[in-house]
Structure 1
Amino acid sequence: MTSAPESRITELGLTLPDVVAPVASYVPAVRTGSYVYTAGQLPLRDGELMHVGKVGAAVTLEQAHECARQCALNALAAVRSVTGDLSAVTRVVKMVGFVASASDFTAQPKVVNGASDLLGEIFDDTGQHARSAVGVAVLPLDAPVEVELVVEVG
């Protein structure tokens, strides 16, 4: 039987991907006690970055928003890789979103809303979380967005 969060993902017309293989020396997620910490997740879909470049230059706000949603899906795949099922998540605690930004781009929170809103759609109230949305000069592979999560599990 599919868990409630995974059913919601399907109802949204999305697919929880396989966990994205690390691009360096780390693991996608680590569980310690009742928390799972994910590594930063890029907007990889079917093994390819959805977009490359800086938001506000080569990448539009709308494209970056969609990238953030994909980053959140990839982070949930990393969570599932250590919990076995997303129904184990009792709370999304914290998200950090990094946005590779053109020098005059200041809408990082709007970009990261793509990930935050998706977590709310999937987990309802338990998806509400603390968050940072940070503008950075460059991200790995020239990705426009990177997201990491901390979730509590039961």
Structure 2
Amino acid sequence: MTASQRLIDLGIVLPAVVPPTAAYVPAKRAGNLLFTSGQMPYEDGRLQTVGKLGGEVDPLRGQELARACALNALAVIDKEIGIDSVVDVVKVTGFVASAEGFTGQPAVINGASTLLEKVFGDAGKHARSAIGMAELPMGAPVELEVIVAFA
């Protein structure tokens, strides 16, 4: 089954690609790899939530926001190379704005990882880092980078 078919089966319509907010491009190719720029939890062109995990933002909400970041990354991937050309999700790096003492970054980023595995099957299993940050741009709670291999 293709990734685009899985998206249909999951009832997911990819969002529009969010235009860059500074001097960068949404993705960059190197050989058969595509590196996405950091994707934040935008919906309809606006940041869904601001704040820090373990503070203003509940960890379950953080998982939803990480999933939204992954959807935005998938939209970039689809626009750049076509989602069905992805043969492997290589690496995911998740950044989590964290209140002091919050250590649940891996659980938050699971919201993105779970979605990628549902969309790509075994090819969606990836290496990953989940990093706690003091602040993220514009007060975003989560930001995500994705590296995929394509044919």
Superposition TM-score, scaled by structure 1 size? 0.95
CA shift for structure 1 position 8? 1.5
Match of 1:119 among 105, 116, 121: 116
Quote the residue 1:32 is aligned against. Answer: 30
Is 1:101 equivalent to 2:134 in the alignment?
A: no
RMSD (Å), alpha carbons: 1.1
Q: Map residues 73-152 of structure 1 onto 2, 5 A cutoff.
A: 73-83=71-81, 85-152=82-149
CA distance in 2, matches of 1:14, 1:142: 26
Q: Is the 8 A contact 1:95 1:132 kept in 2?
A: yes
Gaps of 5+ in 2: none
Quote the residue 1:68 is aligned against. Answer: 66
Deviations 1:18-72 (A, max 9, x none): 1111111000001121000000000001111111000111110011100000100
Q: Give 4+ residue runs of structure 1 displaced > 2 Å after superposition.
A: none
CA shift for structure 1 position 12? 1.7
Q: Is the 8 A contact 1:51 1:63 kept in 2?
A: no
SS at match of 2:76: helix
Count of aligned residue pairs for this structure pair? 151
CA shift for structure 1 position 13? 2.4
CA distance in 2, matches of 1:63, 1:70: 11
AA aligned opposite 1:38: T
CA distance in 2, matches of 1:141, 1:110: 23
CA distance in 1, matches of 2:107, 2:49: 17
Deviations 1:68-98 (A, max 9, x none): 0010010111112211x20100000000000
* Percent of aligned pairs sharing the same letter: 50
Deviations 1:92-124 (A, max 9, x none): 000000000000110000000000000000000
Quote the residue 1:22 is aligned against. Answer: 20
CA distance in 1, matches of 2:132, 2:5: 33
Gaps of 5+ in 1: none
CA distance in 1, matches of 2:45, 2:5: 24
